[in-house]
Amino acid sequence: MSSSRLTSSLYLLAFALLLQNVLGTDPLFSRCSSTTNSTATSSYKTSLNVLMGSINQLAPAEGFALGSLGQNNLDRPYGLVLCRGDVSPSDCRTCAVIAAREIRKSCPNSKRAIIAYDNCLLKYSDNDFFGQIDEENKFYLLNVNNVSNPVLFTEKTIELLSQLATKASYNSKKLYAAGEMDLPEGSMKLYGMTHCTRDLSSADCKKCLDGAITDLSRVAYGKEGARVVGGSCMAIYEIYPFVKA
C-alpha cells in the first residue's frame, strides 16, 4: 500500500449522518496541517484572508477560482475553490463563504488546510500545488445498504463512472460530467458524477478520476452508493437521482 493511501482517511458514515451533513452546515471532511513548519505567520494569515475573499468573489461566476498572493515565497498562500458542476452560482457563493469561514476557525494557525462540503471544496497551502494531483487528501463516504448482486453492480458502476471520467476530462470545459445508466435488474437506474479541479490538465483529470473509480470499486464494493472526494477530483454514484440541476 502506498504512503498516500496510508495518509488518506477513510470515513464510513451511515446514510442518515451523510444526509445530515449534506443538508446542514457540517463539512463532509476537513483537515489542517499539524507540523511546526506549517504554522502560519501573521503576514501569511493576512495574505490568506485577502486571497480567500478574492477567490470567493470569483468562484460563483464559473464554479471555480484559484490564486496566490504575497510579497515573498515564505508568506505566499496558494488557494482554490471548486463548486460542484451542478450547483447554482448563488449556492456556490454561499458554500464558498461558509467553507472559508469554517476552515479558518478550525485551522487558525495552519498554512495548509482543506475542507469539503456537498456543494464545494476549498483548499490552500504555502506550496504551489496548482496542476498537481492531490494524492494525500481523499475521503470516502459510503451508503450502508448493500446490493443483491455486487459483481454485476460493480461492473456497471465502473462502466458508468469510466464513461463520465472520459467525458469530464476531454469533453467538458468544467471538467465535469453527470449521467445515468439502466441496470439489468428490474427498473433500477444507476446515477453518477465525476468532477476535477480545473487547474489539472485533461490527462491528469482522467488519471485522478481513474484512481478514484478504482478506489470506489474496492472500498465501496457492493454498496448502493458511495463517493470519493479528493483534493483534485471526485466521483459519486447512487441508485437515486442526486444531481441538483
Grid coordinates representing 27 are: 463539512
pLDDT(156) > 70: yes
- pLDDT for 37: 60
Closest residue by Cα to residue 192 from 144, 155, 226, 169: 226
- pLDDT for 35: 62
pLDDT(99) > 90: yes
pLDDT(141) > 80: yes
pLDDT(207) > 90: yes
pTM for this entry? 0.86
Residues 207-236, mean pLDDT to the nearest whole number: 96
The amino acid at residue 41 is T
Binned at pLDDT 50, 70 and 90, residue 134 comes out as very high
DSSP character for 33?
Answer: -
Q: What is the pLDDT of residues 101-125, one digit of tens each?
A: 999 999 999 999 999 999 999 999 9
DSSP character for 85?
Answer: T
Of 37 and 195, more confident: 195
3-state secondary structure 205-224: HHHHHHHHHHHHHHHCCCEC
Q: Please list, in sequence order, all residues whose beta carbon lies within 8 angstroms of the beta carbon of residue 177, skipping any fewer than 6 positions away.
A: 85, 164, 165, 167, 168, 171, 193, 194, 195
Instruction: Work out the mean pLDDT of the chain and round it to a whole number.
Output: 88
Binned at pLDDT 50, 70 and 90, residue 38 comes out as low
Residues 63-79, mean pLDDT to the nearest whole number: 89
- pLDDT for 6: 32
Per DSSP, helices labelled H in the chain are: 3-7, 15-23, 42-62, 89-106, 150-170, 202-219
Task: For the chain, give the percent of residues with pLDDT over 70.
Answer: 86
Q: Rounded distance, CA 231 to CA 29, Å?
A: 11
Binned at pLDDT 50, 70 and 90, residue 75 comes out as confident
pLDDT(19) > 50: no
Q: Please list, in sequence order, all residues whose beta carbon lies within 8 angstroms of the beta carbon of residue 5, skipping any fewer than 6 positions away.
A: none
Helix axis angle for 150-170 and 202-219, nearest 10°, is: 170
Binned at pLDDT 50, 70 and 90, residue 36 comes out as low
Residues 61-70, mean pLDDT to the nearest whole number: 94
The amino acid at residue 211 is G
